[in-house]
Structures are given as structure tokens and as C-alpha cells.
């Protein structure tokens, strides 16, 4: 029994209770799904009246895609089972080159400054760039770290590849099938690195009049909102000091980074609904007993129009500078450490031809606006679409409750639905290209739509 003069021993601190992850509510997602179902019933296509290519040529083009089906499906699965991340897609590029060579097509890789880019082109002997048009069809084939083809770029790879080979074979069979040129561009490093912008700066789009690619999705859509995106790395510079004995001699860079992160959260109240800001703190100091000398904030900003992306970038700059002033630290702000990407400017007349081509394959893409603009990501094809008229439609390979960049979508990218989408998408791109090269009125409307909707931006200069 303890003496009345003895103090009881302090009890050991009890561990805090564990808390399980709280799953996010699905209420908003379900509301979006209900809205989508309503729009499916309300929205219809209003297709422009162009004659396009002759039906016999389109039928032959379908057959030339389907004749490649065994090889295209094999390539789709090889890429799916052997994912390579941005700038490392050496085996993917080799597989694409092998398919082109098998069909007697001369191709180059490396191309346009990237080791894993691929370039090929076909045209009739009398091709003259002063009087004949050129369209590019594009492939992507990079995967996501840790997830693999969670964005379905293995499907994108075979759509562009199959379309180009079908057009080359059509021209070989009938030298008068079209008078223009078709360029194939295998474009690496879409995921966060802006491979198409790098290639464009190295001349990939010189002489190109229009461009097309297709992206796998949860449903068939003629077009969806894609946001422009910029990257920013912010470093706060403080002064190190002992955090206990001499804290008043230091300036805490972590304070600047934390204030900046909080400032971004407050900024969101004043941004448009489709603006996005995401940030991480990859470097916040070494030890708690040292006033942090350097801290880094890395962030993406996204917006629906080039001009609103520029405005959002300026506001983010002000938040970073204000946070540094509050913390009494210095700040360095580095924008576009990888090339900025613009929103996608989808060309109306070319989109109409995509719809008609997909209907020939038994698909019926929903009109633009069917899915909420809240469900918006980014792509470097946006930079292409503001340089030349372009389309970036979506083709379904997964259920509508599947999200991009998920393991579920990666699984879908190797499914039978993905195989069929690869073939249907290849025909769709080939059909759009053939229509564009054979219909002068369509080509004129494509150019006018591009001008009327703000095309022709000098991408490298836009953000200064």
C-alpha cells in the first residue's frame, strides 16, 4: 500500500484510437448519372450536310481495317501487358514500327526530338502541298506509373495505327482514292509531360491542315470538355535556426508553403466551376527542431478556356507571393516545367463525320454536352487542336461508373470491348481523314469553324 506522502506514478499515455478511412459520398456522382440519363433523351445530333467520300471507298476502308484485326488486337494486348511510362515507350514504338514495316510503309523513330515518337506518311505521286490537303492521325501509347494502361492508351495506339495503314493500303490499291497526304504521328508522353507539344515545337505539325485521334472512355461521346493545364513548382526560401533555442532567428519556409496551400483552398471559392487546382508538398523540411530553410509546393492548375487558364495562373501567382510575404520568406515560382496544355477545341464539321462513321460500325456516339462538364481531365491534344482543326472524340470500353486513371479502367483496356473499340476507332479516324481529303466543301467548313472558335493560337507564346 502506498504511503500517504507518495505521489501516484503517472499513467502511461494511451494510444489514440484508430480511425478507418471515410469513404466519399456517392450522392453527387449519382446525381450526375441521373443528369446524364436525362440529357441522353433530350440531346440530338444536328449534322452538317456534306457528301464526304464515296460509299464504296468507305466500305473498302472498313474492310482494310478489319483485315488488320488480328495484328491490331495482338498489339493492343501486348501494350496492355507491357506498360511503359512517359518517354520510356521503346517497346511500344518498336511494335508500331514493325506493323508499319509489315505493310510496306517506311517510318521513322526517333522523330521530332523524341526517342519514342514515330512518324510516317503516305500520299499520291502528284501530291502538292500548295493545292492538296494534309491530315494527321495520332496514337498515344504511354502508361501510368503503378496502374498501367489506366487511361487506355494501348487502345489509342491501335486506332491511329490501324487507320493510317488502312488509308495507305487504300491508296496502294487505288492511286486516285484521295489527292491529299496522310501523316501518322506516334506521340509519346501524354501523361503529364506534353509530348505532342514537344513534337510540335520540333516541326511535327508543319504542313498539317487537320488532325484526329480518339480516346477510350466510359461511353461513346462525340466530344467532351477537356481542360487546359499548367504545372507550377514553387520553392519557398527561409533561414534555418534552432527551433527551440533561437526560433526568432529563423524564417520558416514551411510556413510559406502551408500558407500558400491554404490560400489555394480559399481561392477556390472565387474560381469558375470547371477550374481545378491540385497541390502537393513534396518537401517540407528535414527535422522538427530546425526551422525549415526550404520547402516546395508542386501544383497543377486547369481551366476550360485558354484565357481563363491564363487568369487563374495569375491569381495563383499572387497567392504564392502573398504567402511568402506573410511568412517573411523568399519565393521562386517556376511555371510549365513540362509544357502547358490547352483545352481541346473540337471541330464541328469533322466531329459530324466521326458520328456518321461510327454509326456505320453500329455505334451511336452521344452528342457533346451529354456528360457534365464537371467530369473533365486534360490532354496535350488540346495544343494540337488550337494549332490546326482537330477532333478528340471518346469511345466506350468500360461501364459508366468507371473512372479514368483507375485500376478498373486499366482492366477494361484489355477487355473484348476495348478490342472492338480499337477496330471501330481505327475505322472512324480513317473515315474522317478520307472525307476531309475528298470533300472540298467539308474542308472549307472545317477551316471556317476553326477560325470562328478561336483557333490559330501560338501555343509557346500564349503564356509568355
Strand order in the sheet with 181-186: 107-108, 118-122, 181-186, 134-139, 210-212, 390-391
Task: Name the pairing type of β-strands 181-186 and 118-122.
Answer: antiparallel
* Rounded alpha-carbon distances, angstroms, from residue 171 to 56, 60, 177, 209: 14, 11, 6, 19
Contacts 24+ apart (CB under 8 A), 200-204: 200/383, 200/384, 200/387, 200/459, 201/113, 201/460, 202/112, 202/113, 202/114, 203/112, 204/111, 204/112, 204/117, 204/119
Query: How many Å apart are CA 149 and CA 410, to the nearest integer?
Result: 5
pLDDT tens per residue across all 464 residues of the chain = 455 555 666 666 666 677 788 888 888 878 888 888 898 888 888 888 898 889 999 999 999 999 999 999 999 999 999 999 999 999 999 999 999 999 999 999 999 999 999 999 999 988 888 889 999 999 999 999 999 999 999 999 999 999 999 999 999 999 989 999 999 999 999 987 889 999 999 999 999 999 999 999 999 999 888 899 999 999 999 999 998 899 999 999 999 999 999 999 999 999 988 899 999 999 998 899 989 999 999 999 999 999 999 999 999 999 999 999 999 999 999 998 888 899 999 999 999 999 999 999 999 999 888 888 778 888 999 999 999 999 999 999 998 888 888 999 999 999 999 999 999 999 999 999 999 999 999 999 999 999 999 998 888 888 87
Query: Is residue 153 within 8 Å of 90, Cβ to Cβ?
Result: no
The owner of cell 472525307 is 435
What's the CA dihedral at 405, 380, 184, 140 to 10 degrees? Answer: -20
Burial of 394 (0-12, 13-18, 19+ CB in 10 A): buried
C-alpha cell of 378?
486534360
78 vs 376: CA distance, rounded Å:
29
Dihedral (CA of 305, 307, 310, 316) sign: negative
Q: What pLDDT was estimated at residue 404? A: 86
**Using an 8 Å Cβ cutoff, are 96 and 157 in contact?**
yes
Contact 428, 361 (CB under 8 A): yes
What count of other Cβ atoms lies within 10 Å of the Cβ of residue 97? 17
Res 373: pLDDT = 78
Q: How many CB atoms lie within 10 A of CB 16?
A: 6
137: enclosing H helix or E strand: strand 134-139
What are the DSSP calls for 27-80, one per residue? HHHHHHHHHHHHHHHH----------S-HHHHHHHHHHHHTTHHHHHHHHHHHH
What is the per-residue DSSP string for 252-299? -HHHHHHHHHHHHHHHGGGS-TT-EEEEEEEE--S-TTB--SEEEEEE
List CB contacts of 298: < 8 A, sequence separation 6 or more.
Answer: 231, 232, 233, 234, 279, 280, 281, 282
Please provide the size of the chain in residues.
464
Q: How far apart are CA 405 and CA 192, in angstroms?
A: 13
pTM summary value: 0.88
Which residue stretches of 118-252 are H helix?
Answer: 153-173, 195-201
Q: What is the pLDDT of residue 351?
A: 96
Q: What is the pLDDT of residue 4?
A: 53
- pLDDT of the residue at 403: 83
Amino acid at each position: 500500500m502506498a504511503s500517504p506522502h507518495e505521489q501516484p506514478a503517472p499513467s502511461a499515455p494511451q494510444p489514440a484510437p484508430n480511425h478507418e478511412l471515410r469513404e466519399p459520398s456517392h450522392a453527387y456522382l449519382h446525381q450526375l448519372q441521373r443528369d446524364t440519363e436525362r440529357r441522353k433523351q433530350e440531346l440530338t445530333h444536328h449534322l452538317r450536310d456534306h457528301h464526304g467520300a464515296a460509299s464504296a471507298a468507305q466500305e473498302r476502308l472498313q474492310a482494310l481495317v478489319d483485315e488488320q484485326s488480328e495484328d491490331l488486337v495482338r498489339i493492343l494486348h501486348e501494350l496492355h501487358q507491357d506498360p511503359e511510362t512517359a518517354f520510356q515507350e521503346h517497346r511500344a514504338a518498336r511494335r508500331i514500327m514493325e506493323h508499319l514495316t509489315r505493310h510496306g510503309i517506311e517510318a521513322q523513330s526517333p522523330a521530332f526530338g523524341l526517342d519514342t515518337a514515330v512518324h510516317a506518311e503516305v500520299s499520291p505521286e502528284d501530291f502538292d502541298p500548295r493545292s492538296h490537303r494534309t491530315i494527321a492521325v495520332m496514337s498515344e501509347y504511354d502508361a501510368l506509373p503503378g496502374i498501367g494502361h489506366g487511361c487506355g492508351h494501348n487502345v489509342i495506339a491501335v486506332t491511329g495505327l490501324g487507320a493510317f495503314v488502312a488509308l495507305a493500303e487504300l491508296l496502294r490499291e487505288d492511286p486516285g482514292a484521295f489527292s491529299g497526304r496522310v501523316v501518322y504521328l506516334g506521340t509519346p508522353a501524354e501523361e503529364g509531360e506534353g509530348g505532342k507539344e514537344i513534337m510540335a515545337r520540333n516541326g511535327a505539325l508543319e504542313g498539317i491542315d487537320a488532325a484526329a485521334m480518339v480516346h477510350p472512355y466510359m461511353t461513346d461521346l462525340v466530344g467532351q470538355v477537356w481542360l487546359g493545364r499548367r504545372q507550377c513548382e514553387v520553392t519557398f526560401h527561409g533561414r534555418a535556426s534552432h527551433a527551440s533555442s533561437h526560433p526568432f532567428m529563423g524564417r520558416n519556409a514551411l510556413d510559406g508553403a502551408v500558407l500558400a496551400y491554404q490560400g489555394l483552398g480559399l481561392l477556390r471559392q472565387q474560381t469558375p466551376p470547371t477550374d481545378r487546382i491540385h497541390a502537393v508538398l513534396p518537401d517540407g523540411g528535414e527535422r522538427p527542431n530546425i526551422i525549415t530553410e526550404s520547402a516546395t509546393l508542386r501544383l497543377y492548375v486547369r481551366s476550360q478556356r485558354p484565357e481563363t487558364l491564363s487568369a487563374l495562373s495569375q491569381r495563383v501567382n499572387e497567392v504564392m507571393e502573398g504567402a511568402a510575404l506573410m511568412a517573411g520568406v523568399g519565393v521562386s515560382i517556376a511555371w510549365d516545367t513540362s509544357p502547358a496544355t490547352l483545352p481541346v477545341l473540337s471541330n464541328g464539321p469533322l466531329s459530324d463525320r466521326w458520328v456518321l462513321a461510327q454509326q456505320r460500325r453500329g455505334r451511336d456516339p452521344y452528342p457533346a454536352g451529354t456528360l457534365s462538364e464537371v467530369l473533365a481531365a486534360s490532354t496535350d491534344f488540346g495544343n494540337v487542336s488550337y494549332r490546326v482543326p482537330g477532333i478528340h472524340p471518346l469511345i466506350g470500353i468500360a461501364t459508366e461508373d468507371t473512372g479514368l486513371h483507375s485500376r478498373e479502367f486499366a482492366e477494361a483496356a484489355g477487355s473484348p470491348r476495348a478490342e472492338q473499340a480499337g477496330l471501330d476507332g481505327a475505322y472512324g479516324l480513317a473515315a474522317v481523314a478520307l472525307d476531309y481529303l475528298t470533300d472540298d466543301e467539308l474542308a472549307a467548313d472545317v477551316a471556317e469553324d476553326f477560325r470562328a472558335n478561336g483557333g490559330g493560337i501560338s501555343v509557346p507564346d500564349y503564356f509568355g
